[in-house]
Structure 1
Amino acid sequence: MDLGLWGDLSVLAAVAEIVFATCVFVYVGRLERQTSHPLGDVVGAHKEVLAKLRKKQPLTRDEADYAAELIHDARSPLAYAIPAALFTLGFFYVVGCLFVLHLDGGHPSFRTFIGGIPMLTSMNMANQLRRVAALKGNLRDVEVLDTEPIERREPAHV
């Protein structure tokens, strides 16, 4: 049975989505099993620590350990399965719509390309992961102080 270009791409996207979703579940399972750093419970700590690291400002021991954890998590190849799964989902929507339109003889509308939104979002996510992972060199060169850590604020309750 010949599905044509759009049908073949739909099948390929569905298979890729299954693979990437499986990788996401494995990665999230690993993150849930690991003991997180206490600064992970402080509201805004990751943003503050990464900003200090980007500016190459001195970090406390707690901040340096937390930054190392964040960078390690972002450097995992499985971390990129999250944006890949999101991209593949949007791609599946677009090529699936084009496949159905091709069968019916219709023309693409704006609705067909709504799948582009998660595709663009996934590219931003992958870029953010790459930016955090690239801070590994900064972490090696940063000065580590033995002073007070980031102010411990209560976690936000939703």
Structure 2
Amino acid sequence: MNFLPWGDLAILDALAALALATCVFIYITRLENRTSHPLGEKVGAHKAVLAKLRKGEPMSQDEVDYATELVTDARSPLAYAMPATLFCIGFFYVVGCLFMLHLDGGNPSFRTFIGGIPMLTSMNMAVQLRKVAALKKRLAKVTVSETQPADELSRV
């Protein structure tokens, strides 16, 4: 059966999205099954720990352990399956609309390119993951302080 280029792209993209969604499911299942760090339960701890790491400030051992967990999660290849799946969803919408327009002989409208919104969002997600993953170099140089107040994260 010949679906023309847009139909073939839509089918190929749907298969890729299915494979990537499976990877996302595996990644999230792994995250849910492991014991989370106690700092992960505090509101704003993620942002505060990463800010301290970026600035090169001394951190407690708990903060270093949590930062290591965050960086390791962001460096996982399966983490990039989330933005890739979102990109595939947007791409599927665009090529699906173009396929239908090609069959009907219509002209592309703004509606055709609404799929670009999740595609742009997915690129932002990938960049943010990459920024956190790049902190591995700073993590190796972090200074561990012995005496840190318990509410150190609440002031950041």
Q: Smaller-chain TM-score range?
A: over 0.9
Change (3 A) 1:133 1:25: same
Write the mapping of 1:48-59 to structure 2, written as runs, cut at 5 A: 48-59=48-59
Q: Report how far residue 148 of structure 1 moved.
A: 2.8
Say if 1:42 and 1:152, in contact at 8 Å, map to a contact too: no
Number of aligned residue pairs: 154
TM-score for both structures, normalised by structure 1: 0.94
Cross-structure match for 2:144: 144
Identical-residue share of aligned pairs (%): 68
* 1:40-96 deviations in Å (ceiling 9; x for gaps): 010000101001101111111110000000001000000000000000000000000
Question: 2:64 corresponds to which residue?
Answer: 64
Structure 2-normalised TM-score?
0.95
| 2:151 alignment partner AA | E
Q: Secondary structure at the match of 2:151?
A: coil
Contact 1:59-1:144 within 8 A present in 2 as well: yes
Superposed CA RMSD in Å reads 1.5
Q: Residues of 1 paired with 2:91 and 2:72: CA distance?
A: 29
Gaps of 5+ in 2: none
Partner amino acid, structure 2, of 1:97 = C
Distance 1:131 1:113, change over 3 A: same
Provide the secondary structure at the position in 1 that maps to 2:35.
coil
Structure 1: which 5+ residue stretches go unaligned? 154-158
The whole-number CA distance in structure 1 between the counterparts of 2:85 and 2:68 is 26
Q: What SS is found at the alignment partner of 2:20?
A: helix
What is the aligned partner in structure 1 of residue 34 from structure 2?
34
C-alpha separation between the residues in 2 aligned to 1:136 and 1:79?
A: 16
Summarize the alignment of residues 99-110 of structure 1 with structure 2, pairs less than 5 Å apart.
Answer: 99-110=99-110
